[in-house]
């Protein structure tokens, strides 16, 4: 996990939104995530977060699940995620990213 890769991954509003969604600590299926981009673009953003070491992805059959590596990121860069999440909330960055609601 390198600082430049983490900061680059956090430089996009969609990826910040994904981090905000995943900050609750729950593992999410990729199909649960909602963002105003094509599925292929969402997949690219998720892969960027994974490549930077911010998320962990688990495959189960044809489904993929993702979770934020909060403990690992906090150990390597103390306070970084808290600062990013706080600033994003104040500036409404990533508000358009969410989770599908169950009917």
Q: What is the rounded average pLDDT for all residues in the chain? A: 95
Which domains are seen in the chain, by residue range? 3-92 (1.10.10.10)
Q: What is the pTM of this model?
A: 0.93
Decide if pLDDT at 102 tops 80: no
Give the up-direction half-sphere exposure of residue 78: CA atoms within 13 A in the CB hemisphere.
0
Whole-angstrom distance, CA of residue 42 vs CA of residue 33: 9
- Count of beta carbons in the 10 Å neighbourhood of residue 69: 20
How confident is residue 78, by pLDDT bands cut at 50, 70 and 90? Answer: very high
CA triple 26-27-32, angle to 5 deg = 105
Whole-angstrom distance, CA of residue 52 vs CA of residue 69: 11
């Amino acid at each position: 996990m390198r600082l430049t890769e983490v900061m680059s991954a956090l430089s996009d509003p969609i990826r910040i939104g994904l981090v905000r969604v995943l900050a609750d600590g729950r593992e999410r299926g990729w199909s649960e995530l909602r963002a105003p981009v094509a599925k292929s673009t969402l997949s690219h953003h998720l892969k960027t977060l994974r490549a930077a070491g911010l998320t962990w992805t688990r495959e189960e059959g044809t489904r993929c699940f993702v979770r934020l590596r909060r403990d690992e990121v906090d150990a390597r860069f103390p306070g970084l995620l808290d600062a990013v999440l706080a600033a994003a909330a104040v500036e409404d960055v990533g508000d358009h990213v969410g989770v599908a609601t169950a009917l």
